[in-house]
Amino acid sequence: MHKYASPKFFYSLAGQLIPWTAAVTVVLLLAGLYLGLFVAPADYQQGESYRIMFVHVPAAWMSMFIYVLMAGAGAVALVWNIKLAEIFASSCAPIGASFTFLALATGSLWGKPMWGTWWAWDARLTSELILFFLYIGYMALQASIDDPRRAARAAAILALVGVVNIPVIHFSVEWWNTLHQPASVSKIGTPSIHPSMIAPLLLMAFAFTFYFVAVVLLRMRNEILERERHTTWVTDMLESKP
Amino acid sequence: MNWAEFFAMGGYGQYVWGSYGLAALILILNLYLPLRRRKTVQRLLREFLRLKEQTR
Amino acid sequence: MPKLLQAIARLFWRDLTVAMRRSTDVLTPLVFFVIVVSLFPLGLGPEPAVLRTIAPGVIWVAALLATMLSLNRLFANDHADGTLEQMALAPYPLALLALTKITAHWTLTGLPLVLISPLLAVQMHLPESAIGTLVLSLLLGTPILSLLGAVGAALTLGLRGGGVLVSLLVLPLYTPILIFGAGSVAGVIAGIDTEAHFSLLGAFLALALTFAPWAAAAALRVSLD
């Protein structure tokens, strides 16, 4: 366990993993895009616009998945004091926030042709918006604290409070939405799922996941270099390259 | 393959391509930013080391 | 056990008396609450039908904002003079001490909001039948706001820009309380049964009472290290 928790070991492991995960990402993306844009037929009701789903839904999934990972890593960091868990959590945040933003923007772009408005307070988009605020709060808290250890631990507590609240928020927003929804607006429902739509959806979801792994490792390596700058292995490595 | 039809996306072209374009932008940005940061960190740390050597 | 109860009682009274001496700290959120609600008719026009429709949401949002404003006061003063560190070292569970402080804080900040809300309800032309619901929803809701807010205040202890930062952290978490709190008042006006709203608010309160003091204590320890 100790070997894996060592920043030095992780740094080189990450360095080796990144090219592979990147390659897998590209393959999955190409396959997903091909199936989603060329092979899957147009939807009976929504026509071609439903294809936004292949970006919007995986982005939304990632936004939630990453937040949970972030909270989990935070818990590990708090309980066992593992530096790598701290580094992982803080590296997750901007990526998760980006996916949340993407889900919101594509949700808006999907909504405009469907509902005629750029923004609709439907349950999913509203929950996603609140999630975005949670990410921003997390990043703001970390940015406001100079001491990296206190920053990581405070952010971890915040993420845990957030993750517990997310189901509550989802439920509340769902409830609120059913009460206030005008009859003309229906949920951005997944269109009647044609089997040919499942494959590209899953491929894109996996593509985004491998992408996340690749870029989170990139961020972690940067933070490891900074945090470990006083160690011999870092100074040796920096001096060896001109 | 009718490319004109493909790009028009049944009239929803701007929405569909807008979405995919945004996705591409986000993916590229999240790749570019850490790569750029890596160069900055390495440069800063090397300078820091040089200063440490000089003041020894 | 008696020693613990004694300590809690003493802490509670101490917080109350200290806060009463700085009465501006206590009155400002209350005045803010009243002013903010009054801004809406000024912004939207005095049409009673309009005001009646927006009243539940407006009063509740104003209560949220007023609570946010007051959160700074919760731990900052004790942190500044070192009392907080003493509390962390005391042989009593920090979570219980935090809960005591939160209760004292709510008594002086949240409770006044609850008590003055009927006046604001009248100002906003809420029907009399809804006033009771409003008061009850705030009575259940404002403690939850204080409890959750305390975690935010503990996390941002001593940070520059702390006030706005706390809002950023805590307001998203407040949304369920807002939804059911304001929803209960709107519901009673529309003739909907509000039992679900109050059950949920009650459940949130129970959850918050169980977990928030503990989370706040953990956050305090992180901030004090």
Residues of C within 8 A of A141 (CB-CB) are: 155-156, 165, 169
CA A238, chain centre distance (Å): 32
Range C119-126 average pLDDT? 95
Which residues fall within 8 angstroms of residue C66, CB to CB, at 6 or more apart?
Answer: C29, C30, C32, C33, C36, C109, C113
Residue in A100, A149, A158 to test binding to C, most C beta-carbons within 10 Å: A158
A114–chain B nearest CA distance, Å: 10
**In this complex, is the C-beta atom of A59 within 8 Å of any C-beta atom belonging to chain B?**
yes
Confidence check: pLDDT of C1 > 70:
no
Band of residue C25 on the pLDDT scale cut at 50, 70, 90:
confident
Strand-pairing partners, residue A47, are A43
Rounded to 5°, the CA angle A143-A147-A150 comes to 90
| Phi/psi-derived region of residue C37, left when phi > 0, alpha when psi is between -120 and 50, beta in every other case | alpha
| Other CB atoms within 10 Å distance of the CB of residue C62 | 22
pLDDT of residue C112: 96
CA distance A6 to A31: 36
Domain layout of chain C by residue ranges: 2-224
CA distance A103 to A96: 11
Write down how long chain A is. 242
**Whether C175 and A172 lie within 8 Å, measured CB to CB:** yes
What is the b/e burial string over B20-33, where b = at least 16 CB atoms within 10 angstroms of the residue's CB? bebbeebbeebbeb
**In this complex, is the C-beta atom of A235 within 8 Å of any C-beta atom belonging to chain B?**
yes
pLDDT of residue A184: 44
The secondary structure of residue A43, as a DSSP letter, is B
- Per-residue pLDDT reduced to its tens digit, C177-199: 999 999 999 999 998 889 999 99
Band of residue A181 on the pLDDT scale cut at 50, 70, 90:
low
CB C177 within 8 Å of CB C115: no
Residue in B14, B20, B43 to test binding to A, most A beta-carbons within 10 Å: B20
- Per-residue pLDDT reduced to its tens digit, C92-120: 999 999 999 999 999 999 999 999 999 99
Domain layout of chain A by residue ranges: 11-181+194-240
| 99-118 in chain A: CB under 8 A from chain B | 99, 101-102, 105-106, 109-110, 112-113
CB C127 within 8 Å of CB C188: no
- Residues above pLDDT 70, as percent of chain C: 100
What is the b/e burial string over A44-58, where b = at least 16 CB atoms within 10 angstroms of the residue's CB? eebbbbbbbbbbbbb
Range A159-170 average pLDDT? 94
Range B23-50 average pLDDT? 95
CA C87, chain centre distance (Å): 23
**Whether C215 and A160 lie within 8 Å, measured CB to CB:** yes
Q: Identify which has the larger pLDDT, A96 or A119.
A: A96
pTM over 0.90: yes
User: C-alpha dihedral over C168, C173, C176, C178, to 10 degrees?
Assistant: -40
CA distance C214 to C201: 20
For residue B25, CA distances in Å to A103, A118, B35, C8 come to: 13, 20, 15, 56
pLDDT of residue C73: 86
- Residues above pLDDT 90, as percent of chain C: 85
Structure tokens given for B28: 């590229």
What interface predicted TM-score (ipTM) does this complex get?
0.91
Helices C195-224 and A148-180: crossing angle, nearest 10°? 170
CB A191 within 8 Å of CB A45: yes
